[in-house]
Amino acid sequence: MKTRDKILYKSQELFNARGERNVTTNHIAAELGISPGNLYYHFRNKEEIIFQLFLMYESSTQSLLMTPSDRDLTYGDKIVYFEGILDNMWEYRFLHRDLEQMFDGNPALRERYRNFARLILCQGRLIFERLAESGLVQVDEDAIEALIINIWVITSSWISFLHTSGIYGENADINRELLQKGIYQIVMLEAPYLRGEARDKLPEMKRHYGGITPPAM
């Protein structure tokens, strides 16, 4: 693996584990066993590393949400979308947790993210339109608009919600099981609109993504 790629993947690992604010370029260089000067040869600063990691996340998300042009969407496709969203939330959890602070020192990232958000919302609309054509959902235009915005809010803010709310325990570690609860919220948002196989398998979906429950209030 090239040094540039090693820097990116080690940065992603450290940001996820410690939080972006708690990791410096010196930490990254030390973890890799390279000099800070070597790191700066590839990236001028930490903001540039973050921007490149975001581009990786952006590309992964766009690829995930593509719709097939040669066939109808299936219930299996819905599972692929859900699992892909979950994987991205986990692999790039530092972005979901620390994004607003990162915007402050990275205006290029802010602008790129806003364009990305608009594109993903359009892809989300297309997915629901295709699911409707396949008979897996029944939803009108107003409901589609609300669903895709609410799904975006959940996927982009769920990790921050877990950190700030303490709903699953004051010092609960963020793990994939807790992230699955975010997918569960999406499942429940969609539930009233499901039809056919998607509706038949709703109990199975709820069991799979429901996971642990919050402590009693």
Distance of CA 190 to the CA centre of its chain: 18
Residue 100 is predicted with a pLDDT of: 84
Q: What is the pLDDT of residue 98?
A: 82
165 burial type by CB count under 10 A (0-12 exposed, 13-18 middle, 19+ buried) = exposed
DSSP state of 217: -
Distance, in Å, from the CA atom of 119 to the CA atom of 140, rounded to the nearest integer, reads 21
What string of DSSP letters covers 64-104? HT---SSS---HHHHHHHHHHHHHHHHHTHHHHHHHHHHHH
CA atoms within 13 A on the CB side of 85: 29
Please name each of the domains of the chain with its CATH number: 1-44 (1.10.10.60), 46-210 (1.10.357.10)
Interatomic CA distance for residues 97 and 82, integer angstroms = 20
pLDDT at 172: 61
pLDDT of residue 203: 95
pLDDT tens track, the chain, 217 positions: 899 999 999 999 999 999 899 999 999 999 999 999 999 999 999 999 999 999 999 999 999 999 999 999 999 999 999 999 999 999 999 998 888 888 987 899 999 999 999 999 999 999 999 999 999 999 998 899 999 999 999 999 999 898 888 887 665 678 889 999 999 999 999 999 999 999 999 999 999 998 655 444 4
What one-character DSSP code corresponds to residue 155?
H
- What is the reported pLDDT for 168? 77
* Cα dist from 177 to 87, 89, 92, 181, 183, whole Å: 11, 12, 15, 7, 10
The pLDDT, as a whole number, for residue 11 is 98
